[in-house]
Amino acid sequence: MPDPKETIPTAAAVPVAEPAPPKTERAADRPPPPRRREGIERSLLGAHIPETIDRMVNANIARATGGISPAVLAMAYFDWMIHLGLAPGKQALLTEKAVRKLVRLALYSGDSLHDHQTPPCIEPLPQDRRFAGEDWQQWPYNLIYQSFLLTQQWWHNATTDNRGVNRQDEAMVSFVTRQILDMFSPSNSPLTNPEILKATMAEGGQNLVRGWANLMADMKRQAGGQAPDDTAQQFVVGRDVAITPGQVIFRNHLMEVIQYQPASQQVYAEPILIVPAWIMKYYILDLSPHNSMIRYLVEQGHTVFTISWINPTPEDRDLGLEDYRKSGVMAALDAVSAVLPGHQVHTVGYCLGGTLLAIAAAAMSRDGDSRIKTLTLLAAQTDFSEAGELLLFINESQVAFLEDMMWDQGGLDADQMAGAFQLLRSNDLIWSRLVHDYLLGQRQSQNDLMAWNADPTRLPFRMHSEYLRQLFLDNALASGHYKVNDRPIAITDIRAPIFAVATERDHVAPWRSVYKINLLTDADEVAFLLTSGGHNAGIVSEPGHARRRYQMAHRSERDCYIDPDTWQATTPTQSGSWWPAWQRWLTEHSAEQRVAPPALGAPDQGLYPLCAAPGTYVLGT
């Protein structure tokens, strides 16, 4: 098996390495690299010692707080409290609301004793399913959860609509307060959750015994860096998932390019190149055979290539966004062009891979490189001004705090990144699991998507710092300040037709944020599609998947802009998977005449099949 770190040279993709120093020269005799030499000089002067101490202190604090800066929280709560303290009118209003809620609860308490059909005095939010069971409607548990919801509503009123409070601070205070309240939800305690009490009585406490065993097993697996439950045994990469036949035809220090075997005698002339996010492993798009997007495209007659990113280690700390563009997207395009010279390419980018693809496409348009035939962006943002609750903790203080933690570790660990995403949906991803696995003692059956989610990756220090600062903090891509080769690029330069997909319940890339591509591009055509589901499950939406729906509309460069809410209200809803609609769009932008499928690799260009798909990089832990 070839060395995973080996760079396979090709005529189109790999620059010539600098010659090695003469063998007679010793490493100790050579001057240190510029960055290291500068660090040595500063060390001699002692200039960097205070900064290093500060970074080490912040890094240790960050590991204890999950990467959340205490300074950011303290400033946000101080901003809220001082403005609330200077607002006697708001204080009086909150007092009145508290009294009214107490009266409503008291009246409901009396009425529900006589009539079990008494309507609740407050309904949970539509997405809140904690108190939906019949046992919660019995006294006294109905009073317990009703009082909790009223308290939660009061705190929402207290932490929002305060004059003078910084908008981000207010949103942060409201978010954190909600997280704290959810910790003390009556559904999380065996003493106040009737479903847990009922199971404990029926099983003689065996549910708690099983729950304790589940907790100990999970803690042991987490300490050993293993996947939760038995997902690693149920869904093995290359055996159960990521099994679409293909070959790795190119490899460098950052990624592998997989070319998939054709499934038909004739294929579309234009190949497809998929750029997944390196925040996840590529095989979310090649799960089980029945829900593999890559297999679906191959079976529809497309020649498909995909990038499989390496799982970086602390040694890769200095990899930046430009490395991912040049050694990732551009190197993969060069490999595809070597296999199919003279053919334009349908490009597909998922999540952060879509953002990187948009950067590469804008730079290519600026520089006159016309190899991109179409651009498909799956749950990918190009404007980060409305990036949802992820923006709550993106300011200078928080980014600097995260940078100190990543500086110490060499990058962002998978567990730290997963924890941030879980907080955005804590009821579904944290507390419901606590109740189900540890208090009811029941294991949820695993599926391939869960197995993929339990196979995380890391992010290099430099790349993630650039991502947070340039894209989130400065919104440089949307504002025309993002530079490639020391020159700004603009999304407006992209002329290739764009197909943008967003999902309704996306907590990573909110659909209204994805919709902003309509404001940024002057492409000849933009097809925008909104599908049901979340960031991952909405994309993995194979034909035949139950209860799927989508909305889709096209806009040409001559059409006027429509705001997202109007677009959603006026665009017809269609049932089923969105994959066939996208497939039709791809064929409409492909040559009518099909051709014979290309060979795997391009031996005349130095591209040989290196190993079978899914390759070696995807197996890295």
Active-site hit among 121, 351, 560, 611: 351
**Interatomic CA distance for residues 612 and 621, integer angstroms:** 19
**Interatomic CA distance for residues 354 and 530, integer angstroms:** 16
Does residue 88 have a cis peptide bond before it, meaning omega lies within 30 degrees of 0? no
Q: Which residues contact 111 (CB under 8 A, 6 or more apart)?
A: 118
Q: Are 605 and 338 in contact (CB under 8 A)?
A: yes
Q: Are 274 and 584 in contact (CB under 8 A)?
A: no
Residue 444, classified by CB atoms within 10 Å of its CB into exposed (0-12), middle (13-18) or buried (19+), is exposed
Q: How far is CA 25 from CA 19, 29, 32, 36, 139, in A?
A: 13, 7, 14, 19, 84
Q: Are 514 and 355 in contact (CB under 8 A)?
A: no
Residue 351 annotated as catalytic: yes
Q: Reduced to 3 states, what is the DSSP secondary structure of residue 607?
A: strand
141-159 helix and 167-183 helix, angle to the nearest 10 degrees: 160
Query: CA-CA-CA-CA torsion for 82, 86, 92, 98, nearest 10 degrees?
Result: 0
CA gyration radius for the chain? 27
Instruction: Write down the residue that tokens 């509309």 correspond to.
Output: 553
Nearest to 2, CA basis, from 612, 615, 610: 610
Q: Which amino acid is at 76?
A: A
Query: CA-CA-CA-CA torsion for 259, 265, 267, 269, nearest 10 degrees?
Result: 100
**Interatomic CA distance for residues 329 and 357, integer angstroms:** 7
167-183 helix and 70-85 helix, angle to the nearest 10 degrees: 100
Active site residues: 351
